Structure 1
């Protein structure tokens, strides 16, 4: 019985994936261009007008040469809320990057040195930073991977650790995005 529930859940996830869904229902923007595609939804849960959306993202996985699904999720949050009338002054995502995802926020020079190609996430990272999204790299992951501050896209900051960054963000009222 449990295996059937797992299979049903997996299939539901595939059907709801933008990559497999009707792409014509999804569009980019209005804030982050070229990333974070969203669909219009007739939602029953109203977005409170006075709510500050303080959401922390934990991004630890990445695949060389590919765009970051985690960073795209941050763009999707921004675009989704803005498209539904939430002003940017109330949208406050924060990103904590560690492990393999560390490379997604490195300069093209460092990324090319490591993987032989330019970083496919550079433009998205620059747009997120330009909109005031703080991106913190786990200092422990950086040290383990021999990545210095100078190897990071300008504006990306280093935290003592991902664990420490999340504790600080939690104390500042951020909720942890479960996806």
Structure 2
């Protein structure tokens, strides 16, 4: 009897959860295939649509699941879509992403990625989508070297810098707000 009751309870909760999820309004206003967000109503604090945003995002995520896009990488697209849903125009969003540490392995082209991980890269199309949205992407040259990649292995959307550290210090001094995605 207990098993039937538990099964029925689980079934009813699943139905309730599914119907609640269907009521949510998901959106991808700028980056269509990544960074899905909720279009919430009745919120008191939103981005200022009249401001110019200068955002520097450091991503250092791990590559434990190379067959799928890392949560922190996808969060870059979410941040952009969240500003857009708040009314910020794309031309007022100046976003630069600096990639280093293990995340450096995400910027290699499809051939190098498949050779390294034995799976298709989920990052090639992601970086193309970010570039289309006007995002500047930079990889740490120090990390690129430490992880054994050659400059010709890097996807064309990503620039190579001397280091992530110098990119971060330079952009912060230029007035960019700093976000770190991944790592500790």
TM-score interval for Structure 1 and Structure 2 normalised by the shorter chain: 0.7 to 0.9
Q: Is the 8 A contact 1:62 1:104 kept in 2?
A: no
Unaligned 5+ residue runs, structure 1? 1-20
Map of 1:56 onto structure 2: 56
Shift of 1:23: 7.1
Matched, 1:35 2:34: yes
Q: 1:109 to 1:30 in 2, by over 3 A?
A: same
- Structure number with greater Rg is 2
SS in 2 for 1:58: strand
Return the alpha-carbon distance in structure 1 between the equivalents of residues 114 and 84 of structure 2. 34
Return the alpha-carbon distance in structure 2 between the equivalents of residues 100 and 23 of structure 1. 36
Shift of 1:91: 1.0
Unaligned 5+ residue runs, structure 2? 1-19
CA RMSD of aligned residues (A): 1.9
Number of aligned residue pairs: give it: 159
Shift of 1:103: 1.4
Return the alpha-carbon distance in structure 2 between the equivalents of residues 97 and 82 of structure 1. 23
Return the alpha-carbon distance in structure 1 between the equivalents of residues 59 and 134 of structure 2. 18
Return the alpha-carbon distance in structure 2 between the equivalents of residues 163 and 116 of structure 1. 31
Q: 1:36 to 1:163 in 2, by over 3 A?
A: same
Return the alpha-carbon distance in structure 1 between the equivalents of residues 43 and 22 of structure 2. 20
Find 1:177's aligned residue among 171, 176, 179: 179
Map of 1:126 onto structure 2: 128
Matched, 1:81 2:86: no
Return the alpha-carbon distance in structure 1 between the equivalents of residues 122 and 22 of structure 2. 21
Task: State the structure with bigger RCO (CA 8 A, min sep 6), 1 or 2.
Answer: 2
Return the alpha-carbon distance in structure 1 between the equivalents of residues 23 and 115 of structure 2. 38
Map of 1:25 onto structure 2: 24
Q: 1:143 to 1:23 in 2, by over 3 A?
A: farther
Larger CA deviation: 59-68 vs 116-125: 59-68
